[in-house]
Structure 1
Amino acid sequence: MRLLHTSDWHLGRSFHGVGMLEAQTDFIDQLVDTVRSRGVDAVLISGDVYDRALPAVDTVRLLDTALERITEAGAVVVLSSGNHDSAARLGFGSALFERAGVYLRTRYADIARPVVLPLEGRPVAVYGIPYLEPRLAAGDLGVDVPNHFTVAAAAVQRIREDIRAREQAEGPLASVVMAHTFASGGISSDSERDLAVGGLGAVPLDLFEDFSYTALGHLHGRQQLSSTVRYSGSPLPYSFSEARQAKGGWLLEFDAGGLASVEPVTWPARRRLAVLRGKLEELLADPSLSDAQDAYCQVTLTDSQRPARAMEQVRTRFPDTLVLAFDPEGGARGPAQTYSQRLAKATDDLDVCCGFLEHVRSRSAADEEKDLFIEILDKVREAEAAK
């Protein structure tokens, strides 16, 4: 039996102002191809299938189409809610969806109600833990001191008790737990929403050590925390900090002995990301950067002064530059000053004007700009003298 671990689809998300619905449609095409070509029996989505609690109509249509295509390809779907999802809205019609092979786990009451996948010798029980907001989940889970660890521990304890009861009644089974959380040891990216301040949202890794496999969601980089605890990561990069990450999921294979193997599945994005850094003239001339001409780019210019029409010039070679930053090489501009500090050091009206121009655009006034300031200041003085 084969299960495909995915998470953090974030359908409806944009990337620095660029809509990603087309890229997300491409990813779903690749996922469905994987289901067919690898004989996947179940697709797991460990939270954040949507990017927002109230997704747009076209985003809902995309998920609707995706679920239909996955089930038509021969796999069931187990989907738990994440911190970006509205659990109540996502869980609508869950009893009806189960008849079509789509199992939604968005309610605390369903934490210990697994989807049991039949496998001769050792069936696979998949438990979906929806995102647990401590203050909201504490009462339902019987927790006195609400925090991410206590509510997660209470949810896991419910699952352990259900596994124990099933094995006593029916014999051994393999257990898969889906959870949307930040587990200790995970490496984060810039595109994730913090679950708590100061790292208090982390739960210890050994909380999941009793299970055959734990399919985590929330962190966007695919990573292995232990042999049986992994993040699938997001299927697409959602920040430039993910530019070097291989995106995809994990393919799990179970046999009568339990978890037999785990292998990565990679789905290349149509447009790659490039992070460039250097002086403007060097970036525009460097032949080794030709691949970045068709990529979404984040460019940091290190010129000692901000070049004029910087974005316009950068886009002559890298037309899809989405982020432009400035970091003068060697700290050539010195420590940052407020405009009030600059103003206090001004020696005359021309110095005030030039200082303001440099402050707002991080580039000194050119000679022709200084000449224009002088001309304007002379006309102002003449007008004041004529009064």
Structure 2
Amino acid sequence: MRILHTSDWHIGRSFHGHATLDALGGVLEVLVGQVREHEVDVVVVAGDVFDSAAPAAACYGVLTGALAALSDAGATVVVTSGNHDSSARLGFQSSLLRQGIHVVTDPLTTGTPVTVDDEHGPVHFYGIPFLEPALVRHLWPDAEIRSQRLAIEYAMGLVRVDAARRGGRSVAIAHCFAAGVDATPGVEREIRQGSLDVVPLAAFDGPDYVALGHIHGRQRLSDRVRYAGAPLHYSFGEGDKPRGSWLIDLDADGLAAVEWLDLPVPRRLMTIRGSLDELLGDERFAEATDAWVCAQYTDATPQLDPMRRLQARFPHCATVMHTPEGLRGDDGLTYSRRVRQARSDAELVDAFLVHVREGEGASERESEVIRDVIDERTLAEARA
């Protein structure tokens, strides 16, 4: 049996205020083509299908179109909910979907598989929707579910019991933060509390393959436990991470092979750094013209209207950061103490500039202007 493992579509997510629906739709079309080309039997989507609990109407069109296309390509589809999804909204139409498309959002179905047969017999797909401990502990009153870790461990216990009873091969699908992953700061919404909600790798013992979601970059925790990551880049911190999915082959004995299938990047992400004049004119930044750009300008002082000026050269400049270099070292003085120590009006202005510029005082040219202004004011007051 051939399985495609994808996750974290985040339909409806924006990228620095820019819509991503069209880009995602194009990438999912390529994914459907890969399913057809590689004769995939089952597609697994491991959570965070939508980006929010209340997606816009257009998001449903992208989802239903993708699911229908995957089905038309000949694949059975198994979708689970993630921490971004609303189980109710994602699963409300599950009973109306065409045969071969399964949306798993009910925690009480944990341990009840979607079974697909091949020439070697059955393969049981155990979908585990995102388990928020506070919301699911009442469903299993005899279990101690105080954290993500305990919730996943309990759910996997149900999976192992059922799989042993049924026999055959099995695949588990979950959405969580597993121990040993390399996350992208600020991208994956936190679903941990301290170390309690980090799920140990041993929790996933049993199935022939475990398809995980939540981490946006591909991760191999073991040969049989992996994250596929998101099909689009949703942060500049992800810019160097490939986009794609895992292609898994099961034979009669279980896991036989795993291959990575790349997905196209509609627009590459680049972070460029230099003074504003360098960013606007230096040819070494020419390759960023058609990319999504995070511009970090290093001028000592904030510059006038940097976004508008940068977008004239980089039409897809998405964010601008002022990251000055060569700032004056911290002298340990508070602003009020600097003010008290100022011996002249010029030093008082310089103390203010050091405070608002986070350590950078007046430049030589600025000091000349400040002295000229103070001298003119002093002369004007003397004539009054």
TM over 0.5: yes
For the Cα contact (< 8 Å) 2:301–2:357, is it kept in 1? no
Which residue identity is paired with 1:199? Answer: S
Aligned positions of 1:66-85 closer than 5 A: 66-85=66-85
User: Residue deviations 1:207-256, cap 9 Å, x none?
Assistant: 11321000000000011110000000011111111010110111112222
What runs of 5+ residues in structure 1 fail to find an aligned partner? Answer: 168-172
Residue 122 of structure 1 contacts residue 258 of structure 1 at CA under 8 Å; is this kept in 2?
A: no
What amino acid sits opposite 2:207 in the alignment?
F
Which residue in 2 is equivalent to 1:157? 157
Q: Provide the identity percentage.
A: 42
Residues 35 and 70 in structure 1, CA contact (< 8 A), matched pair in contact too:
yes
Deviates more, 1:122-131 or 1:368-377: 368-377
Deviations 1:258-309, CA, capped at 9 Å, x for gaps: 2221111111121110012233344445434322111111122334444454
Cα deviation digits, residues 139-169 of structure 1 (max 9, x gap): 22332251122111110010111111112xx
What letter matches 1:178 in structure 2? Answer: I
Q: Compared with structure 1, are the counterparts of its residues 240 and 165 closer, same or farther at alpha carbon in structure 2 (3 Å cutoff)?
A: same
Aligned length: 377
- C-alpha distance in structure 2 between counterparts of 1:12 and 1:43, whole Å: 21
> Whole-Å Cα distance in 2 between the matches of residues 357 and 157 of structure 1?
62
Report the Cα distance in structure 2 between the residues aligned to 1:21 and 1:376, rounded to whole angstroms.
59
Match of 2:248, SS? strand
Q: Secondary structure at 1:182's aligned position in 2?
A: coil
Aligned to 2:327: 332
Within 5 Å, give how 1:131-280 maps onto structure 2. 131-141=130-140, 142-167=142-167, 173-190=168-185, 191-280=187-276
RMSD over equivalenced CA pairs, Å = 2.8
Q: Are the equivalent residues in 2 in contact too, given 1:45–1:78 (CA < 8 A)?
A: yes
User: How far is 1:78 from its partner?
Assistant: 0.6
Please state how far the C-alpha of 1:378 moved relative to its aligned partner: 6.7
Aligned amino acid, residue 128 of structure 1: G
Q: TM-score, normalised by structure 1?
A: 0.88
Q: Summarize the alignment of residues 335-354 of structure 1 with structure 2, pairs less than 5 Å apart.
A: 335=330, 340=336, 343-348=339-344, 352=348
For 1:123, the equivalent position in structure 2 comes to 122
**Residues 110-163 of structure 1: CA distance to partner in whole angstroms, max 9, x if unpaired?**
111111111122321111101111122222233225112211111001011111
Structure 1 equivalent of residue 31 of structure 2:
31
AA partner of residue 77 (structure 2):
V
Secondary structure at the aligned position of 2:285 is classed as helix
Deviation at 1:338, TM superposition (A): 6.6
CA distance in 1, matches of 2:277, 2:165: 69
3-state DSSP of counterpart to 2:171: strand
Aligned to 1:302: 298
Distance 1:104 1:345, change over 3 A: farther
TM-score using structure 2 length:
0.88
- Note the C-alpha offset of 1:348: 4.9
Gap runs ≥5 in structure 2: none
- After TM superposition, give the deviation of residue 43 of structure 1 in Å: 1.4
Deviations 1:39-76 (A, max 9, x none): 12221110100000000111122112211222122212
The alignment partner of 1:48 has SS state of: coil
